[in-house]
Amino acid sequence: MALLVPDPGTPEPGTAAALGGPAPGYRLEIGGAESNVAVNLARAGHRVAWHSALGDDAFGRHILARLDAEGVHCAVRTDPERRTGLYVKEPDGAGGTRVRYYRTGSAASALGGVDAARVRAERPRLVHTTGITAVLSPSCRELVDGLLEGAVPGTLRSFDVNYRSALHGPAEAEVVLQAARRADVVFCGVDEAAALWGTAAPEEVRELLEGPELVVVKQGARGATAFRGAERRHEP
What is the mean predicted confidence (pLDDT) over 106-123?
Answer: 96
Alpha helices (runs of H) in 27-106, residue ranges in sequence order: 33-43, 58-69
Stronger pLDDT, 4 or 6, i.e. the higher one: 4
**pLDDT beyond 90 at 93:** no
- 228 DSSP β-pair partners: 214, 231
| pLDDT at residue 158, rounded to an integer | 98
Q: Of 89, 91, 97, 103, nearest to 59 (Cα)?
A: 103
| pLDDT at residue 181, rounded to an integer | 97
| pLDDT at residue 98, rounded to an integer | 86
State what percent of residues in the chain have pLDDT above 90.
Answer: 80
**pLDDT beyond 60 at 51:** yes
CB atoms within 10 A of CB 209: 22
β-strands 224-228, 231-235 pairing: antiparallel
Q: Of 85, 29, 30, 28, nearest to 53 (Cα)?
A: 85
pLDDT (tens digit, 9 = 90+) per residue, 150-182?
Answer: 888 899 999 999 999 888 999 999 999 999 999
**pLDDT beyond 80 at 122:** yes
| pLDDT at residue 20, rounded to an integer | 53
| pLDDT at residue 97, rounded to an integer | 79
pTM attached to this predicted model = 0.90
